[in-house]
Amino acid sequence: MTRRIYIFDTTLRDGEQSPGVTLNSDEKLEIAKQLAKLNVDVIEAGFPIASKGDFQSVKNIGEQVEGPIIAALARALPKDIECAGEALKNSLRPRIHTFIATSEIHMKYKLRKSAEQVLEMAIDAVKLAKNYVDDVEFSAEDASRSDPVFLCRVFEEVIAAGATVINVPDTVGYTTPEEFKGLIRYLKNNIPNIDKAIISVHCHNDLGLATSNTLAAIEGGATQVEGAINGLGERAGNASIEEIVMALKTRKDFYNCDTGIITEQIYRTSRMVSAFTGVEVQPNKAIVGANAFAHEAGIHQDGVLKERTTYEIMTPASIGLSDNRLVLGKHSGRHAFKERLKKLGYNLSDEEVEKSFERFIELADKKKEVTDKDIESIIENEISLIPETYSLEYLHAMSGSGVVPTATVRLKKDDELFEEAACGTGPVDAAFKAIDRITGLSVKLADYSLKAVTSGKDALGEVTIRINHDGNFYMGRGSSTDVIEASVKAYLHALNKLLSEKEASKD
């Protein structure tokens, strides 16, 4: 009989803990809606006690996203659990996910508590959480380095206290597949009331084994797996949801397991998470990388042309990847354009469609061929969830050998226009300095990257930047066939995020 594996997505919680990643409430809500389309079973929406923003994000997602269970993380502390309960009170399917470390090294050096004190805190946390929700998940942090006998005792007690899910995290990515599979089997065989709870696992990728360990845990009997889109997360990241799901689907003959994931939404979800977080997907990333379905070697190309399955174990269509051809041009109508957007997985308002269509026409005038990737870039970079405090009205840059690079920039704020010129080490630097003079903001450029969206001399250039303002980081993206314009758009996107956060903090 086929086993059902539940997918717990922690992109919005653990994924956001990736160095340099920050998401605002609106971005988190959009990602959560897309995760619902992907049909994950659980969305870990955040850590409510961490900040007002996290609290609000959990609240918004719980109230507005239907389908998946909405989970909130809480340490085994009353204030955390009470805060999580408050954030989830209007959620249709709430879960409180509480945790405490159980390994000797964590209990001794981090918690400075005895095993008995930790056990008592775990039981009390679950009992308190049950006052707010029926569905409580308990995690034994650093479980893979914990004493298995003590681990069994903790899990038995928290299940008796009302935990519906027990989670076995490989918090520091230390374990190996055989070892982890053995631990899951040991727990199944030595916890008397284990039949009353779902066994979950949460693997980190410090040794590059997160997906392997997760799949091994499934073999051992785990029925819920936790991970993040694109493998985001602390340090080297979490197990990649897309890798786990496609491994189970492609090798159903071996694992005999099903998930409820709509795999055709994987690519769209991956692109959205990459766009909002500013973390690019490496080209050779399994499943969603740019080279995942690319064949350069002549032998491989010949084989695929004769029979796809010679070198492709999955189809691009199975993850929602189109053939990258858009049979539309500058003479195409809005209706055809809107229909194409729907096929690509976008559900935009009439205003957003109009804005996107205008950009499409501009691009079609400049390029011989417009691809689906060009369209995706337009949507992800032009349809911003951030209020546009400043928008670009005019840009002129001059540079060359023996010439001092200069730039003139005109920005619009409300109905007022502002114009400044500046010199710099290059045209992009000059444009940024002109913008700084207009906005009066003092920021440092922490990161800058430029890539071509498609091939060819007329390709869209996509710029991703990260700015630092008083120790806080803000990511921005912009695209254009002109890389200087793309850079300015990305810079303004980041600055508008900064200004939006400042405005929100006044409320």
The domain locations on the chain are 3-277, 322-382, 391-506
| Helix, strand, coil distribution of the chain in percent, nearest 5 | 45, 20, 30
| Higher-scoring residue by pLDDT: 349, 301 | 349
Start-end of H helices in 69-147: 78-87, 104-105, 115-129
Q: In which element (H, E) is residue 450 found?
A: strand 444-452
- Using an 8 Å Cβ cutoff, are 180 and 213 in contact? yes
The two three-digit tokens of residue 490, written as one number: 């990305």
Quick one: CATH architecture of 391-506? 2-Layer Sandwich (3.30)
* 30 has a pLDDT exceeding 90: yes
Identical fold between 3-277 and 391-506 = no
**Per-residue pLDDT averaged across 392-414, rounded?**
94
pLDDT tens track for 469-480: 988 888 888 988
Least confident residue range of 30-39, 106-115, 455-464, 482-491: 455-464
CA gyration radius, the chain: 25
Distance CA 408, CA 19 (A): 34
pLDDT of residue 378: 76
Task: Tell me the β-bridge partners of 451.
Answer: 462
115-158: per-residue pLDDT in tens?
A: 999 999 999 999 999 999 999 999 999 999 999 999 999 999 99
Task: Name which of 235, 250, 239, 101 is nearest 177 in CA terms.
Answer: 239
- Phi, psi for residue 162 in degrees, rounded to 5: 125, 0
Query: What residues does 408 pair with on adjacent strands?
Result: 396, 421
Q: What is the mean pLDDT of residues 327-352?
A: 73
User: Which pLDDT score is estimated for 382?
Assistant: 67
State the Cα–Cα distance between residues 467 and 226, nearest whole angstrom: 31
Does 227 have pLDDT greater than 70?
yes
**Angstrom distance (rounded) from CA 13 to CA 109:** 25
Least confident of 199-203, 231-235, 301-305, 382-386: 301-305
Region 72-78: mean pLDDT is 98
Averaged pLDDT for residues 31-48? 97
Q: Per-residue pLDDT for 295 more than 80?
A: no
Q: 24: how many CB neighbours lie within 10 A of its CB?
A: 18
The stretches of 2-110 forming alpha helices (DSSP H) are 25-38, 52-64, 78-87, 104-105
pLDDT of residue 374: 81
* Homologous superfamily of the 3-277 domain (CATH): Aldolase class I (3.20.20.70)
410 CB burial (10 A radius; 0-12, 13-18, 19+): middle
Summary mean pLDDT of the chain: 91
- Residue 9 is classified by DSSP as E
Dihedral in degrees, nearest 10, Cα atoms 49, 53, 55, 56: 170
With contact defined as beta carbons under 8 Å apart, do 420 and 341 qualify?
no
